[in-house]
Structure 1
Amino acid sequence: MAISRKRKADELLSSPAAVNCAPPSPDFFRSLPPRLQEQDNLDYFEAFHVKRRNVMKSPFQDTEWHRLQLDYQLLTDFVTDPRCSISFSRPVILKMLSLFESEDERERVALATLLKGIYDRFPEHRVFIRKSVYDIFYQFNCSSHSKHNGIPVLLTFLKNIVEERESVCLEDEFRVFLLRSLIPLYKSKWLVMFYPYLRNCIAEFIVKDRKIADSIMQGMLRYWPKQGSSREYFFLDAAECFLVEAKLSTDFSSSVVGLLEKIAGCLKSLQFNVAEKALSLLDVNGGLGILIKKNFKFILQIVYSGLKEVAAKHWRPKTKELALKISTALKAIDPVFYDNCYIASLFCEEDEAGMEWMALAREERWTQLEGMAAAKKEWSGLSTNFRQELCG
């Protein structure tokens, strides 16, 4: 099949008519079939299992794929062959982008390959292609009730574009798109479908320009889910990746302090996946080990209370064992300061217990006063009635 396809492409390219035109493909002008109802009814909300990667149990298989595959491969050969100087109109590119909503994953991969070939071959279309892709993400953020199957491959496409750029600093176009479109994707209920691609794409932005890391972390804090949600797992995973790529040493901005406070809160989560992920971020042998060792005192003051609580009260034995292991490794860095944090936590617990006792005593005293007032009011009423009877 591959030999005949290559021979067909060579014959078409060798003809005089193939110098300035491409073979018309009806696939660019067909309408996609309606989405399957059972796929739209799948539950991607916060309770969805965070470790599940294969979302679709039975991926959709287009019965016409064998014919479509030949068309895509033939057109890709025309785009990548230097002997052919073809041109694409903007309506054709827009129609091709609309096909990324196809349910067949093979077609989406073929479209991504073709789009990348057009982007590399024709510089005059690059700005238009980027803005068209941006528009897809903007529309998806505005209509989060419906999913878009092409988000993962489009994120990979953008990651490759940023990776291939020679300039270290990003242009304003990429910065605006990152902050206004990519970061808000973390609030989507379909996050489980594309979050690894989203994390890798944003990490590539940080590699190109580490100054933008602070703005990214501020955006993460803005869309951070409520405590106790399994979606916190995605945010912890992304925070680890971004902190590693940013290569922070000692300069901690308010956004990094906010992330550390969120990590400390996630340690107390009843979702064991979230709690164990937060514990793994504090591992001195992990990706953030260098950051933890250089800023040990600052970080331990923020996370110690949560670390102590999960080691003593968590419902899962394996999570408690992991917390004890992390605590032992942290104590080995600076035992004296670790003991000081322990003593300070005892004083805080005593203060909290004292305040709780005072609150209970105050509430009991108010109850007594209310009872005395009610009894006095009742006796006054009886006295008034007795006087009226005597006078009568």
Structure 2
Amino acid sequence: MYHQQLSYCITQFLEKDCKLAVMVTRGLLKYWPVTNSSKEVLFLNELEEVLQATQPPDFQRFMVPLFHRISRCLNSLHFQVAERALFLWNNDRIEILILENRRVILPIIFPALESNSRHHWNQAVHGLTLTIRKFFYDLDPDLVKACLLKFREDESKEGEIKEKRETTWKHLEKLAAERDAK
């Protein structure tokens, strides 16, 4: 209803003082809508506007929590949220910020990219994900390989934990059945 006016107001403030980008981004992350996909898309749009006005030193102050949130958006089952998050890479200014900080950002978002490339149901999201993976691979193949190795290790550990949990539950069920039989 009044989102456009508020967005315009924030953009004007950022044009006057780009240092406000840190506070605005932290506020967006604090009040991020997790159950309303259309609002999440609006927040991603607003985030792009804020990042457009952000200077590299300020960006580094909030990039870790920001990309944890973007990673969750990339993994969203709602295709518009995932697609909008992937479209951030189409912005040249944001792409430069990501490029300069790829050693911090890629390990955060790589699991989401890998998951999307394997399992996302939407073809457009799948295609955009592969394009972004290729972008990172062309830029820094060693970093991508390291992230892939870490992802596979984490996946293996997850499988072991799941197996151990299932074994524990089976053991508990067996003990409960034995106790009931007495």
TM range (shorter): over 0.9
Question: Any unmatched runs of 5+ in structure 1?
Answer: 1-192, 377-392
**Of residues 8, 11, 32 in structure 2, which corresponds to 1:224?**
32
Which residue identity lines up with residue 28 of structure 2 in the other structure?
Answer: M
C-alpha deviations, 1:81-126, integer Å up to 9, x for none?
A: xxxxxxxxxxxxxxxxxxxxxxxxxxxxxxxxxxxxxxxxxxxxxx
Using the alignment, how far apart are the partners of 1:251 and 1:197 within structure 2? 24
Instruction: Compute the TM-score of the two structures, normalised by the length of structure 2.
Output: 0.92
**Of residues 74, 77, 81 in structure 2, which corresponds to 1:270?**
77
Query: Which residue of the partner structure matches residue 174 of structure 2?
Result: 368
1:228, distance to aligned residue in structure 2 (A): 6.3
Contact 2:111 2:151 (8 Å CA) reproduced: yes
C-alpha deviations, 1:334-392, integer Å up to 9, x for none?
A: 0011011001000000000000000000000000011111112xxxxxxxxxxxxxxxx
Using the alignment, how far apart are the partners of 1:286 and 1:306 within structure 2? 22
Query: Which residue of the partner structure matches residue 326 of structure 1?
Result: 132
Query: Which residue of the partner structure matches residue 50 of structure 2?
Result: 242
Contact 1:261 1:303 (8 Å CA) reproduced: yes
Pair 286,228 (structure 1): closer, same or farther in 2 beyond 3 Å: farther
Query: Which residue of the partner structure matches residue 342 of structure 1?
Result: 148
**Of residues 144, 152, 164 in structure 2, which corresponds to 1:358?**
164
1:274, distance to aligned residue in structure 2 (A): 0.9
When you count helix as a share of all residues, which structure comes out higher?
A: 2
Q: Secondary structure at the match of 1:246?
A: coil
Which residue identity lines up with residue 370 of structure 1 in the other structure?
Answer: A
Contact 1:267 1:279 (8 Å CA) reproduced: yes
CA RMSD for the aligned pairs? Answer: 1.7
- Number of equivalenced pairs: 182
1:287, distance to aligned residue in structure 2 (A): 3.3
Q: Secondary structure at the match of 2:96?
A: helix
Q: Secondary structure at the match of 2:98?
A: helix
C-alpha deviations, 1:182-226, integer Å up to 9, x for none?
A: xxxxxxxxxxx3323322220111121122221111211221111
**Greater Rg by CA:** 1
Using the alignment, how far apart are the partners of 1:337 and 1:228 within structure 2? 34
Using the alignment, how far apart are the partners of 1:265 and 1:247 within structure 2? 24
Contact 2:64 2:104 (8 Å CA) reproduced: no
Contact 2:41 2:84 (8 Å CA) reproduced: yes
Which residue identity lines up with residue 19 of structure 2 in the other structure?
Answer: K
1:265, distance to aligned residue in structure 2 (A): 0.2
Query: Which residue of the partner structure matches residue 298 of structure 1?
Result: 104
Question: Any unmatched runs of 5+ in structure 2?
Answer: none
Using the alignment, how far apart are the partners of 2:119 and 2:96 within structure 1? 29
Q: Which has the higher contact order (CA 8 A, sep 6+)?
A: 2
- Which structure 2 residues correspond to residues 146-225 of structure 1 after superposition, within 5 A? 193-225=1-33
Using the alignment, how far apart are the partners of 1:225 and 1:293 within structure 2? 27
1:249, distance to aligned residue in structure 2 (A): 4.5
Query: Which residue of the partner structure matches residue 257 of structure 1?
Result: 64
Moved over 6 A (4+): none
Which residue identity lines up with residue 346 of structure 1 in the other structure?
Answer: R
Query: Which residue of the partner structure matches residue 389 of structure 1?
Result: none
Q: Secondary structure at the match of 2:93?
A: coil
Pair 228,261 (structure 1): closer, same or farther in 2 beyond 3 Å: farther
Instruction: Compute the TM-score of the two structures, normalised by the length of structure 1.
Output: 0.44
1:322, distance to aligned residue in structure 2 (A): 1.3
Which residue identity lines up with residue 309 of structure 1 in the other structure?
Answer: S
Q: More displaced, 220-229 or 357-366? A: 220-229
Which residue identity lines up with residue 261 of structure 1 in the other structure?
Answer: H
Q: Secondary structure at the match of 1:287?
A: helix
1:289, distance to aligned residue in structure 2 (A): 1.2
